[in-house]
Structure formats: C-alpha cells, structure tokens
Amino acid sequence: MMKKTDCMKLIKLTSHKNDEPIYINIDKIDYFYERQMGDKYYEGKPIIEKLTKVGYNGSVSEVKETPEKIIEKIKMIKNANSTRTI
C-alpha cells in the first residue's frame, strides 16, 4: 500500500502488437529483456526484428522500446520531483 507521501512514477511504453500506449509503474517492473522475433526474409536476406518483453506486477507486455531506452526513462523519472509520466 502506498503512503500518502509516496508518488506513482509511470513510464509510457508502446505496445509492439497495436502501437497503443502502456503505462507502467517503475516500482512494479520485475524484468525486461530484448529478444528477436521469428525468422523473416526479404529477397533472400534475413530481416532481424526485435522487441522487448517487460514483466511487471504479474503481467508481461511486448513493447517497441529497447532496454536502453527503458533504462533512460526510468533514470529520468527517478530524478523527477513529482508524480509524472515519461
């Protein structure tokens, strides 16, 4: 349970499936990692498509942001002084 002095710090990520925004409380993130999607080819050359899986609060979402971008957003929100979304 959050105390009155606690504030929720959310980051906004983009769903890989439908480009919808996903808002995640950074304190509830359990893990995130990048993985390659299935093998696809264009004109005989492999196409490498990646997505990032984020586990939070018992759920898992696939997002477009890279782990590096997620870390950057977490650092930004941790340095913020108030409740906000980044």
Would you say 83 and 9 are in contact if contact means Cβ atoms under 8 Å apart? Answer: yes
Neighbours of 73 (CB within 10 A): 20
Question: Could you give the CA distance from residue 74 to residue 56 in angstroms, rounded to a whole number?
Answer: 14
Q: Span 27-53, mean pLDDT?
A: 85
Residue 46 has pLDDT above 80, yes or no: no
Residue 8 has pLDDT above 70, yes or no: yes
Q: Are strands 40-42 and 59-63 parallel, antiparallel or unpaired?
A: unpaired
pLDDT band at 25 (very low <50, low <70, confident <90, very high): very high
pLDDT for 6:
63
What does the mean pLDDT of the chain come to? 85
pTM above 0.85, yes or no: no
Domain boundaries, the chain: 10-78
Q: Which residues on neighbouring strands pair with residue 47, listed in sequence order?
A: 40
